[in-house]
Chains A and B, each alone.
Chain A
Amino acid sequence: MAAPTGTDASLAAKPDETSSQSTTSPNSSPSARKLPPPESRESLLLRRLSILSFWVLVLFVGLPIWLKTTAIYRAELPLQEMTDWAEGKVCKPVFPLRIAVEAPVSIPDAHHLLRTTQHALDDINDFSAHHLRLMLADSPLQSNASQQVITDGTGIMSNDRDVALAIRLIPVETGTTPRSHLQPYTPMLDVYYSPNQIPSQSSTGSTLATFLAQELHNIFAEEQAQLVHLLSASSGAHAAKIKALSPETSAELQRQSTRVLKYAPTYHLTFSLFTPSYAPSAWDIETALQSYMSPLLDAFSAISNFTVDTQVQLYATFAPSIHQPEYDEEKKTWILHKEDLSGFVNAAEWPLSPSIGEGPTVNFILYVPDRTQSPLLIKENAGNSWLIPQWGGVHILNLQGEPDTPSALTADMLAPAMHTFSNQLISLFGLPQSPASLPLRLSTLERVRAASLIFSASSTLGALAQVYQKLPSIPVPDNVAQSTHRTIAHLQQACDFLRDGRFPSALEHARSAEVEAEKAFFERSMVGQVYFPDEHKVAVYLPLLGPIAVPLIMAALKELKSVFKRG
């Protein structure tokens, strides 16, 4: 405390001295100026220590805390791997389909038939990723007959889940041979042949083998086209290698892809009855759904889940901006023009999109026109239903032969509408049109969905990697990294299962991958802090740090100066 009083004293003394000195001689006696008493070593040390301790505190406590609290936490993501997935470098989806062949002939003959058919098949197949592999089935009949169990691993059970199609060769004596019949409710192709068409061991080709190959090729033609389209649309990396589709097929597939609903694990189906008057006010929709929709939904349940609800809306009017139905004198019907159909659904007034449940809503609208406007038909094709891509379908129920609009619709009255809705749902769901066997089409859908989910999850990963790199200001919590790793694991598994030809498992993993990828990308806390220009930062920090920094720096400079002067 000695130093401050000393300086005070000198300050107080200064004015007198300077004034007196300036009048006399400026350089007469500098020793007359009163100097502070010399600092003791202890106080010097004390001062330096205190300055040092401030600096230590600022540098080793304050600065780290400041950096720590203002830093944006960004978990490590496997960016390279994510980008590789997005670019299709990791997984090239292949679709090896197992086809089991049951042939009631001797083992060597059967093997020979398989070999020749496989050759013929490989010759006509020009899409290498989609590969049909023929296998000899261990038909119970055969193994009983000749106790010869096939041990080379090519034999499989024909009722195995992973078998795409089973071919049953049936020898017949009559009719044109070979001919085939695809069973509608089981994945089974019956081929009728006459016994002399089995190729002998020495021959290299046979009509039966070519016939089989051609049949198989036809059955899977649409699936191949769909997969080619998907692959070419989804990843640039594959596009060069796969065959080009004809423009018509391509356009048709493009149209289909605009129609088909985006994949969701759960869809919400809403069946609505709209009527412009008070009747009908009830419908036996539950029975109708039970008998017409449930089988369909069951069939699709391996791919997605469904929730269903229904509603009845009375006094539903058209939107004022559309053309009202016109009366056609010739046909004695009311008509709607095709270009007006898009405005038929009065989106502003009809309560159609309940924001309940998870998953997108698919709407099916049953419109019962007023007695005075019935029958109501579409002008272009005299039909009464239409499909709205990615949205749902509409059916106009014209009740003919009834004297008055009934107050309740029975399940029988609803039958035509239910048929329309089932067809529309099939179209919206993207079930292929051929082949005739339903299980085959479902498994085609399974494969197409699995592949498209793999692509979409991969592209989400790529998007996340891009966002991570481009926007350094958004925080990335740890669970994003975990989700990313899980996505990659699921994708890898899905890809492996695809390669093994185990499509249901592949779909399952692709679904999980998609869910995890979405979860990672849409992580709630990943909203970038609002953009701050640098001026803003200066404006925020200067008033806080300025008053602290100035004395600290000045004291340090002064002390350093005195050290150098002395040294």
Chain B
Amino acid sequence: MKFSTTLLPLLTAAAPFAASEHTSNWAVLVSTSRFWFNYRHLANVLSLYRTVKRLGIPDSQIILMLPDDMACNPRNAFPGTVYNNADRALDLYGDNIEVDYRGYEVTVENFIRLMTDRVGEDMPRSKRLMTDERSNILVYMTGHGGNEFLKFQDAEEISAFDLADAFGQMWEKKRYHEILFMIDTCQANTMYSKFYSPNILATGSSEIDQSSYSHHADNDVGVAVIDRYTYYNLEFLETQVRDPTSKLTLGDLFDSYDESKIHSHPGFRYDLFEGGEAAARDRKVMDFFGNVQNVEVEGRNETGWIRDGAGLVKVSKPEPHGETVINRSEHKATQSLRKDGAWKVEEEQGWKKQVYGAAALVGCAGIWLAGSWLESI
């Protein structure tokens, strides 16, 4: 009890800020298994990708990890396509898909680097999770797993502890506002059992010692095309959440799970979420699967002074007197530079290079001759 009384003032102080809204949505969609017979895991992820994109999350804020390329697999009877249903009505691969991590890039290390943003300076922005304390993140993982682990590419595995620590570091650095963690794998619910950071809502497809089953197979593709848990999630998202103005809540989504159809017991973890189960279930589906943009139509109008450009420039650059070095360098930086978008690479056609090459060849020949002459002595 002592513990809770010391925490109480902290919590009440934090409440007004935690309750504030988020301003951006991100999605991290990860499939962890390669090889043709795991077609369904890629289909799972691509289906989710399509849904979040349809609901407005731009590609730049979706991190898609695909360890294999089913569309171009030689065993694919329908090259260039991935389907999640035997009716093959919808090609998930389409013509507008941006895979951020592909093939051997999908590793435990890269995943943890992505979540904690500990990446090299040369990492493109599209492959980074650039979230802040106002970002909601949807993390969806699928693959083959077991008790407290998830296999990556049949080569390594991420444990529930690693995942919990990654989220823990994200929370410390204020890299998220709220996280919805979904996982579709065998014994999925064990994966979120070790989380300890606040504001994570977790759900998984099956309890410990339960398998997560595939939904159905396509006989022409030759393998199962989707998992049951993902299938019924998608069914809800596609039939109920039709456009970005949807007001449905996560509670509605969770209530739509039918254990007799899913063939396993989906689990939920509400205790980390502020406000507990009630608050978590009240969150809108669009808070995680869509992209909120609360537009402001009433703008400010005060650019009268911009017309008086000369006066403004004078203001912004006060006469430097007795300024520090820092300020002077700043002035240098303010001079705007114009850069060309792209450079044409000119191929050098001069004689110089050719002379160098010839000289090198002659030199080598000379050394060889000298060597053979010395040998003959």
Residues of A within 8 A of B (CB): 159, 161, 184-186, 233, 236, 239, 254, 258-259, 262, 291-292, 294-299, 301-302, 305, 309, 319, 321-323, 338-343, 345, 347-349, 352-353, 355-356, 360, 378, 380-381, 383, 385-391, 393, 419-420, 422-424, 426-427, 433, 438-439, 442, 459-460, 462-463, 466-467, 470-471, 504-505, 508, 521-528, 530-531, 533
Task: Tell whether, in the assembled complex, residue A353 and residue B299 are in contact, meaning their CB atoms are under 8 Å apart.
Answer: no
Complex: A258 Cα to B300 Cα, angstroms: 16
A438 and B57 contact, Cβ closer than 8 Å, known pairs A470-B168, A530-B108, A530-B156: no
A319 contact set on B, CB distance < 8 A: 56
Task: Tell whether, in the assembled complex, residue A352 and residue B295 are in contact, meaning their CB atoms are under 8 Å apart.
Answer: no
Complex: A460 Cα to B172 Cα, angstroms: 8
B165 contact set on A, CB distance < 8 A: 470-471, 528, 531
How many chain B residues sit at the interface, stated as a range, is 35 or more
Residue interface bits B10-28, CB-to-A below 8 A is 1, else 0: 1001000100110110000
Q: How far is the CB of B242 from chain A (nearest CB, A)?
A: 8
Q: How far is the CB of A460 from chain B (nearest CB, A)?
A: 7
A386 contact set on B, CB distance < 8 A: 295-297, 299
Name B334's closest neighbour in chain A (CB-CB). Answer: A301
A349 and B96 contact, Cβ closer than 8 Å, known pairs A186-B315, A527-B113, A531-B159: yes
A505 and B306 contact, Cβ closer than 8 Å, known pairs A342-B294, A383-B297, A423-B300: no
Complex: A226 Cα to B156 Cα, angstroms: 50
Residue interface bits B291-320, CB-to-A below 8 A is 1, else 0: 111111111111101101101111111110
Complex: A462 Cα to B172 Cα, angstroms: 8
- Among the listed B244, B303, B316, which residue makes an inter-chain contact with A343, where contact means beta carbons less than 8 Å apart? B244
Task: Tell whether, in the assembled complex, residue A389 and residue B316 are in contact, meaning their CB atoms are under 8 Å apart.
Answer: no
Task: Tell whether, in the assembled complex, residue B297 and residue A338 are in contact, meaning their CB atoms are under 8 Å apart.
Answer: yes
Residues of B within 8 A of A (CB): 10, 13, 17, 20-21, 23-24, 53-60, 96, 108-109, 112-113, 116-120, 124-126, 130, 132, 134, 156, 158-159, 161-162, 165, 168-169, 172-174, 242-245, 291-303, 305-306, 308-309, 311-319, 321, 323-324, 326-327, 330, 333-334, 336, 341
- Among the listed B54, B159, B327, which residue makes an inter-chain contact with A321, where contact means beta carbons less than 8 Å apart? B54
Complex: A338 Cα to B120 Cα, angstroms: 41
Name A420's closest neighbour in chain B (CB-CB). Answer: B299
Complex: A522 Cα to B115 Cα, angstroms: 11
Complex: A305 Cα to B172 Cα, angstroms: 28
Task: Tell whether, in the assembled complex, residue A530 and residue B303 are in contact, meaning their CB atoms are under 8 Å apart.
Answer: no
A-B contact pairs, 7 of them (CB 8 A): A301-B330, A305-B334, A343-B243, A347-B57, A385-B299, A442-B315, A528-B165
B169 contact set on A, CB distance < 8 A: 463, 467, 471
Complex: A530 Cα to B165 Cα, angstroms: 10
A528 contact set on B, CB distance < 8 A: 112, 162, 165
Task: Tell whether, in the assembled complex, residue B297 and residue A236 are in contact, meaning their CB atoms are under 8 Å apart.
Answer: no
Complex: A508 Cα to B23 Cα, angstroms: 28
Complex: A386 Cα to B297 Cα, angstroms: 4
- Among the listed A345, A349, A353, A380, which residue makes an inter-chain contact with B297, where contact means beta carbons less than 8 Å apart? A380
Name A157's closest neighbour in chain B (CB-CB). Answer: B321
A159 contact set on B, CB distance < 8 A: 319
Task: Tell whether, in the assembled complex, residue B303 and residue A419 are in contact, meaning their CB atoms are under 8 Å apart.
Answer: yes
B308 contact set on A, CB distance < 8 A: 185
Complex: A348 Cα to B58 Cα, angstroms: 5
Task: Tell whether, in the assembled complex, residue B296 and residue A521 are in contact, meaning their CB atoms are under 8 Å apart.
Answer: no
B58 contact set on A, CB distance < 8 A: 347-348, 352-353
A355 and B118 contact, Cβ closer than 8 Å, known pairs A342-B293, A347-B58: no
Task: Tell whether, in the assembled complex, residue A422 and residue B303 are in contact, meaning their CB atoms are under 8 Å apart.
Answer: yes
